[in-house]
A = this chain, B = another copy of it.
């Protein structure tokens, strides 16, 4: 064992106090731990702390009053201090199989779990993540099935005037034959998100790998765009540095991204072996991306046969901003006159956008426009968006 330490120490980069601590500390803190009885234990070492809590979507939500309205936020649980300053909390309930995110609060200070290397970024916020296996969570886990390739790809955006980044998933079989062509699904993120969001929090590559392996989804190319046209790429992957966009609305929902969308489709059709026709193209998105999906579909009625709106931000558009938002009813009529294969709408029943979605469904029903509606519990959260993707993808390209 001594030799092992010596070798690791000698070969480890001498840049991190963390690494040194991990090597020579006597305290091994494991967190989080999914226990055999289905509960989950969280631990945090903070010998001088007075109060440590954990907050995350594995706990029931609570209401938070703000000057801007009441919002659902994750519940909070207190950790208790044990030996060597290691604080601990175990849920008093079985945590259902799923993917969850959480953070600690140490004496008022919100921080991620330093013992968990899975760090999740949402907007510019970091949280820690874990998966409870044995059910839905297995779909979000890397399994020993054939894996697609996930690539960070740059396209020259004539609209933006600079190169912008996409994430592209090609299915496991993509390189088996140089001739086979594939249908393409475009997947759009929510406000503040970027081309990483669906891969990181959405677990889209795992969902695709697993659904394809189970024969539930057709092999397809999946393209994850960046909906903020003023941005090259996710924070940290652009020439303007590691900017935090939190309190600034990105350049989006003003029409430019939607108007420029065909240049992305053209790029993909030029650089991948795609079936470049409406019947082999789908688009979907969450929240703002659902809003984008709607207007891109309506303004390009011959481009996508399948459209999916997940907790879509319907009704927040200002028609004066861009022609793309105008003549809604006419465009809707034209869209349906071209007989799309599927307009799919998913929403949670406590989502703040629930009523807007219900109203839109009523409008579709009244006009006799065919659509599918999927309603489930919960709000405007990634747990639901992963479910919607899992429901939507098997319906495509049949």
Which residues on A are within 8 Å of B, measured CB to CB?
2, 4-24, 45-50, 55-57, 61, 64, 66-69, 71-74, 76, 85, 101, 103, 105-112, 114-119, 121-127, 130-131, 141-144, 146-147, 149-154, 162-163, 165, 172, 175, 190-192, 232-233, 235-239, 241-242, 244, 246-249, 271, 287-288, 313, 316, 352-353, 379-382
Asked if A192 contacts B9 (CB within 8 A), the reply is no
Chain B nearest CB: distance from A43 CB in Å? 13
Asked if A239 contacts B125 (CB within 8 A), the reply is no
Given known pairs A16-B122, A152-B150, the reply for A110 and B21 (CB within 8 Å) is yes
Contact residues in B for A154 (Cβ distance below 8 Å) = 146-147, 149, 172
Complex Cα spacing A141 to B130, Å: 31
Contact residues in B for A381 (Cβ distance below 8 Å) = 13-15
Contact residues in B for A50 (Cβ distance below 8 Å) = 48
CB contact between A7 and one of B13, B49, B191 (< 8 Å): that residue:
B191
Complex Cα spacing A380 to B15, Å: 9
Given contacts A4-B247, A11-B190, 9 further A-B contacts (CB under 8 A): A9-B68, A10-B352, A12-B191, A18-B103, A23-B246, A117-B235, A130-B242, A143-B239, A154-B172
Complex Cα spacing A237 to B124, Å: 22
Contact residues in B for A19 (Cβ distance below 8 Å) = 122-123, 125, 246
CB contact between A249 and one of B8, B13, B249 (< 8 Å): that residue:
B8
Contact residues in B for A12 (Cβ distance below 8 Å) = 123, 190-192, 380
Asked if B14 contacts A74 (CB within 8 A), the reply is yes
Contact residues in B for A6 (Cβ distance below 8 Å) = 68-69
Asked if A109 contacts B46 (CB within 8 A), the reply is yes
Chain B nearest CB: distance from A87 CB in Å? 11
Asked if A49 contacts B150 (CB within 8 A), the reply is no
CB contact between A103 and one of B17, B149, B246 (< 8 Å): that residue:
B17
Complex Cα spacing A67 to B48, Å: 27
Contact residues in B for A74 (Cβ distance below 8 Å) = 14-17
Complex Cα spacing A76 to B17, Å: 10
Asked if B117 contacts A287 (CB within 8 A), the reply is no
Complex Cα spacing A287 to B66, Å: 53
Given known pairs A11-B288, A16-B127, A117-B244, the reply for A163 and B146 (CB within 8 Å) is yes
Given known pairs A57-B15, A141-B239, A380-B13, the reply for A249 and B121 (CB within 8 Å) is no
Complex Cα spacing A46 to B17, Å: 20
Asked if B247 contacts A22 (CB within 8 A), the reply is yes
Minimum-distance CB pairs A-B, first 3: A151-B151, A48-B107, A18-B125
Complex Cα spacing A2 to B66, Å: 12
Residue of B nearest to A131 (CB): B241
Asked if A101 contacts B15 (CB within 8 A), the reply is yes
Contact residues in B for A122 (Cβ distance below 8 Å) = 13, 15-16, 19
Asked if B14 contacts A117 (CB within 8 A), the reply is no
Contact residues in B for A143 (Cβ distance below 8 Å) = 239
Complex Cα spacing A167 to B316, Å: 41
Residue of B nearest to A8 (CB): B191
Chain B nearest CB: distance from A85 CB in Å? 8
